Structure 1
Amino acid sequence: MAEVQEYKQVRRYETFSYLPPFSAEQVRAQIQYIIAQGWNPAVEHIEPNRPFTYYWYMWKLPMFGERNVDAVLAELEACRREYPNHLIRLIGYDNYTQSQGLSFVVYRGS
């Protein structure tokens, strides 16, 4: 009989969490995609023990009309410096459908 392996549960927060963590270039590419779609980027964060609550804390207001990738990256880094142990996600809000077009966790905390 085959030996049973231990099941290790890994928390999955969104679709991209099934992939290996994004590199800096891949995060930049996702931000460029958000901007190319005309979506408004926003940054949210939450404590690591509460990732499945519906409401995450918003880091400032959404960046309405932002077209500079470096400005979005700077806000992500500022949030990370302020809350180094929090989960931090990036959202692309779609004005037309009034919904999130894209959302993924950028930093999983330390």
Structure 2
Amino acid sequence: MAEMQDYKQSLKYETFSYLPPMSSEQIRAQIKYAIAQGWNPGIEHVEPENTMNHYWYMWKLPFFGEQSVDNVLAELEACRRAYPTHQIKLVAYDNYAQSQGLAFVVYRGS
């Protein structure tokens, strides 16, 4: 039987957190997919110690109608420069289903 991991040491934040970290190309592909679905990208961030206990802060409003992957990547990088120690995730909002179509942690902070 596999050894049990301590909950605090094995925190998982989103579906993709069970996989190895994504490359830049894979992150770009996920953003491209979200935009192709008509979803509105948004960026959220939070201190690592509050990841599981609090709502995440929004980095600006969601990018309604955004069609450029490069603009979303630039905003992710701007958020990372402003909050280098924070967890930063991309959320894609689905207007039709009125829910999140996609959400994953892009930067885990330091």
Q: TM-score, normalised by structure 2?
A: 0.92
Gapped regions of structure 2 (runs ≥ 5): none
How far apart in 2 are the matches of 1:32 and 1:14?
A: 19
Gapped regions of structure 1 (runs ≥ 5): none
How far apart in 2 are the matches of 1:39 and 1:5?
A: 40
Tell me the secondary structure at the aligned position of residue 42 of structure 2.
strand
Deviation at 1:49, TM superposition (A): 0.1
Give % identity: 68
Match of 1:53 in 2: 53
How far apart in 2 are the matches of 1:54 and 1:94?
A: 23
Match of 2:34 in 1: 34
Match of 2:93 in 1: 93
Counterpart of 1:34, as a letter, is A
Deviation at 1:32, TM superposition (A): 0.2
| Number of residue pairs matched by the alignment | 107
Who wins on radius of gyration, i.e. which is larger?
1
After TM superposition, the structure 1 = structure 2 runs for residues 58-69 of structure 1, keeping only pairs within 5 Å, are 58-69=58-69
**As a proportion of its length, which structure holds more helix?**
2
Q: TM-score, normalised by structure 1?
A: 0.92
